[in-house]
Amino acid sequence: MASASDSDKPSVSNVEESRSRLCEEFAAITGTDSAAAQSYLSINGWEMEKALNSFFEADMERIFEEEDFPERDSCPGTKRKKVEGKPAEPCIDLTKDSPASSRKPSEEDDGKLSVISWNVDGLDTDNLGERARGLCSFLVLYTPDVVLLQELIPPYVQYLKKRAVSYLIIEGGEEGYFTGMMLKKSRVKLVESETVTYPTTQMMRNLLVAQVDFKGQKLCLMTSHFESCKAHSAERMKQLRVVMQRMREAPDDVTVLFGGDTNLRDTEVAKVGLPSSVCDVWERLGKQEHCRYTWDTKANNNKTVPYISRCRFDRVYFRPATKDGVPRLAPDHMALVGLEKLDCGRFISDHWGIYCSFSAG
């Protein structure tokens, strides 16, 4: 007969099943294989967060061995090292408006809000320097007021802080990978920010919220990276409900904007439902086909997968202010960005970015 203490122990099959599930989740988050996942998890006592931090820290050390994100990274497989005794490169704002775009905007343009939302795939560290510089080139081209980013890692943020000094950067985390916001200092003023934890996430996901002032208007900005993979549909819908509740309950003198990598499928959105006050910007602007797929392995080969998948994972939701006398913004334009390959032969990310603009109705 088994002793009481033996009966309290989890069975071998349950332990194996639990560890197998952890390996699958680790591999999905990091883009590694099951062998690497098992190695990191076992070394860290099968604690997911410790294993992920260990993985990202190892990758960060490799990234910082490069020459401070050189202007042109070499193509995959070759990395330039720091030159001993070389003086540090001076801080250059790669997002400062170019002469062509620095003309005084018209009164109409001046009141228009522009936003980019982008999963920049910081987990993929190949050509990360050139890809980060590519992001900065889009900031010069579009001069967005707000940038909502997902899958940032600390070295990427450090680079942006050094090179995008015309923006205030808000981070949704400090370790592993996380979301972030960039606010154009000359046009958007931060009032306060907070990070809302998703209580049952298994992938370190949360909701980053910022209250800001834009040209005298109150805005509530949100970004998130919802749970990944088909098997986590229930958790993803929980996270959508949290976002929709925050959007619905915001004061009526506040305009609310969410942009992020939701990993949502249309069936999941239909099950949750959007509040009547909230619109999906892509749908509001006529469901233009050229803006439909933000993760498209048919056109984007950053991820070498043996299948074609075209999904609208990245979405922008909007709730206008309704109080009398408060300017009411409305979406007027959407486009996908990052569709061109960089010199290294890869794209800025495996996701396309979304550019949106909003004007007073």
Q: Based on the fold, state whether residues 57 and 107 are members of the same structural domain.
A: no
Q: Based on the fold, state whether residues 53 and 112 are members of the same structural domain.
A: no
Q: Based on the fold, state whether residues 104 and 184 are members of the same structural domain.
A: yes
The residue that leads in pLDDT, 284 or 49, is 284
Q: What is the CATH number of the domain that holds 21?
A: 1.10.8
Q: Based on the fold, state whether residues 22 and 150 are members of the same structural domain.
A: no
94 occurs within a structural domain: no
304 occurs within a structural domain: yes
Residue 60 has pLDDT above 80, yes or no: no
Q: Based on the fold, state whether residues 181 and 224 are members of the same structural domain.
A: yes
Residue 216 zone, left/alpha/beta (φ > 0; ψ -120 to 50; rest): left
The residue behind tokens 């001076």 is 90
70 occurs within a structural domain: no
Q: Does residue 6 carry a catalytic annotation?
A: no
Confidence at residue 171, expressed as pLDDT on a 0 to 100 scale: 98
What per-residue string of b and e applies to 278-308 under the rule 16 or more CB within 10 Å gives b? bbbbbeebeeeeebebbbbbeebebeeeeee
Confidence at residue 200, expressed as pLDDT on a 0 to 100 scale: 97
Residue 269 zone, left/alpha/beta (φ > 0; ψ -120 to 50; rest): alpha
Confidence at residue 103, expressed as pLDDT on a 0 to 100 scale: 39
Q: Based on the fold, state whether residues 59 and 170 are members of the same structural domain.
A: no
pLDDT range class, residue 11, cuts 50, 70, 90: low
Q: What does the block give as tokens for 358? A: 């909003």
Terminal Cα-to-Cα distance of the chain (whole angstroms): 77
Q: Based on the fold, state whether residues 38 and 126 are members of the same structural domain.
A: no
Using one digit for the tens of pLDDT, what is the confidence trace for 23-55? 888 887 776 778 888 888 888 888 887 787 677
To the nearest whole number, what is the mean pLDDT of the chain? 85
Lowest average pLDDT, out of 24-28, 57-61, 235-239, 261-265, goes to 57-61
Q: Based on the fold, state whether residues 19 and 127 are members of the same structural domain.
A: no
Residue 6 has pLDDT above 70, yes or no: no
Q: Based on the fold, state whether residues 58 and 125 are members of the same structural domain.
A: no
Q: How many CA atoms lie within 13 A of 316 on its CB side?
A: 35
Confidence at residue 133, expressed as pLDDT on a 0 to 100 scale: 92
Confidence at residue 216, expressed as pLDDT on a 0 to 100 scale: 93
Helix (H) or strand (E) holding 119: strand 113-119
Q: Which of 260, 287, 269, 267 is nearest to 351 (CA)?
A: 260
Q: Based on the fold, state whether residues 26 and 152 are members of the same structural domain.
A: no
- Measured in residues, the chain has a length of 361
Q: Based on the fold, state whether residues 300 and 173 are members of the same structural domain.
A: yes
> Residue 154 sits in which domain range?
99-360
Q: What is the CATH number of the domain that holds 279?
A: 3.60.10.10
Q: Based on the fold, state whether residues 346 and 219 are members of the same structural domain.
A: yes
Q: Which of 286, 277, 276 is nearest to 332 (CA)?
A: 286
Lowest average pLDDT, out of 27-36, 95-104, 164-173, 205-214, goes to 95-104
pLDDT range class, residue 256, cuts 50, 70, 90: very high
Region 288-311 average pLDDT = 94
Region 77-94 average pLDDT = 44
77 occurs within a structural domain: no
Return the percent helix, strand and coil in the chain, to nearest 5: 30, 25, 40
Using one digit for the tens of pLDDT, what is the confidence trace for 101-114? 443 444 446 889 99
**Among 59, 121, 145, 261, which one carries the catalytic annotation?**
261
Confidence at residue 294, expressed as pLDDT on a 0 to 100 scale: 98
% pLDDT > 70, the chain: 81
Strands 146-152 and 113-119, by their bridges, are: parallel
Confidence at residue 24, expressed as pLDDT on a 0 to 100 scale: 85
CA gap 71, 88 in Å, rounded:
14
**Domains identified in the chain, total number:** 2
74 occurs within a structural domain: no
Contacts of residue 291, Cβ cutoff 8 Å, sequence gap at least 6:
282, 285, 334, 335, 336, 354
Q: What does the block give as tokens for 246? A: 């925050």
284 occurs within a structural domain: yes
